[in-house]
Structure 1
Amino acid sequence: MSILNDEKEVLAADGQRRAAILAADSERLDHLLADDFRYIHASGKVEDKLQYLASISPGKFLSLEIGELDVRTYNGVAVMLGAIDLRRTAEGRIIEKRHQFSGVWVRNDGRWKLSVFQNSSKSTG
């Protein structure tokens, strides 16, 4: 498999991940996450796969727009770095934020799965 094909596959898998989050489709999301998945929030809170899946609820996320994006692949591992603009609901309010993120994807049984995803607040300076 070529590096270019790997990058395209990772980008496609990440698009499926975002679509599953917006649709609150935990079953589809489950298939895109590695069993040892960890999600690190901008606040520093860490969730495992089951905790993260339980946190995805209908109407929570209104949009997830990727800005700058860089994908690098290394023999079955892909590192994704970028920015995301999100709109979500919390306690009856709409919140808009921009985060920097990093994600580590691993090829497992011929499929790309997200192993780690970390958000950090985007600096305005």
Structure 2
Amino acid sequence: MTMAHEISALRDRVLAADEARYQALYVQDVEALGRLLAPDYLHTHANGKTEDRAAFLATIASGRFRFVDAVRTDQQVRAAGAAVVLSGITTTTLDVGGATKVMRNAFVTVWIDAADGLRMLHWQATALPEA
């Protein structure tokens, strides 16, 4: 297998895992989402609040907000030793108590290759100014 093929395969795996994560978020499938998050996962929201894995899963399970859509652009996948970094821009539509909220963020995620598949170790979002 050539290096270009390996990089392409890694990119495909990470993007597929990230899509599975979003699909779990859309339907608030906490069990499926939990399988995609590393035990020591951290989620840093665009407002600076950081939640550990348990707190993030509880937030999703609470139904306080529901992911409706997330359009990702400018995605880059880079290998960094045992970790894989996925970054880009996301325009995320949420339902917050019946009201629609749209956020545009730059994001960075770190994925690790566990024995049973890719696991997200960290999510970091940065709010982007309105265009």
Alignment TM-score > 0.5, same fold: yes
Match of 2:47 in 1: 43
> 1:24 is paired with a residue of what secondary structure?
coil
Percentage identity across paired residues of the two chains: 29
Contact 1:103 1:116 in 2 (8 A): yes
CA distance in 1, matches of 2:31, 2:18: 15
- Name the residue aligned to 2:21: 17
In the alignment, does 2:122 pair up with 1:116? yes
For 1:56, what is the secondary structure of its paired residue?
helix
Shift of 1:74: 2.9
Corresponding residue for residue 27 of structure 1: 31
Distance 2:109 2:122 in 1: 5
- Name the aligned partner's letter for residue 42 of structure 1: A
- Asked if the contact 1:7/1:73 (under 8 Å) is kept, the reply is no
1:51-90 pair list within 5 angstroms: 51-57=55-61, 60-90=66-96
Q: Deviations over 1:75-94 (max 9, x none)?
A: 43110110101111224311
One-letter amino acid matched to 1:11: L
Count residues with an aligned counterpart: 125
Q: Tell me by how many angstroms 1:67 deviates.
A: 1.6
Per the normalisation by structure 2, the TM-score is 0.88
Structure 1 residue runs of 5 or longer lacking an equivalent are none
Per the TM alignment, residue 6 of structure 1 is displaced from its structure 2 partner at its CA by: 1.3
- Give the gaps of 5 or more residues in structure 2: none
Name the one with the larger helix percent: 2
Residue 3 of structure 1 deviates from its aligned partner by 2.2
- Matched to 1:15, the amino acid is E
Q: How does the TM-score come out when normalised to structure 1?
A: 0.92
Q: Deviations over 1:22-46 (max 9, x none)?
A: 0100000001000000000011100
Counterpart amino acid of residue 30 in structure 2: S
1:54-84 Cα distance to aligned partner (Å, 9 max, x none): 1114561111111221111134311011010
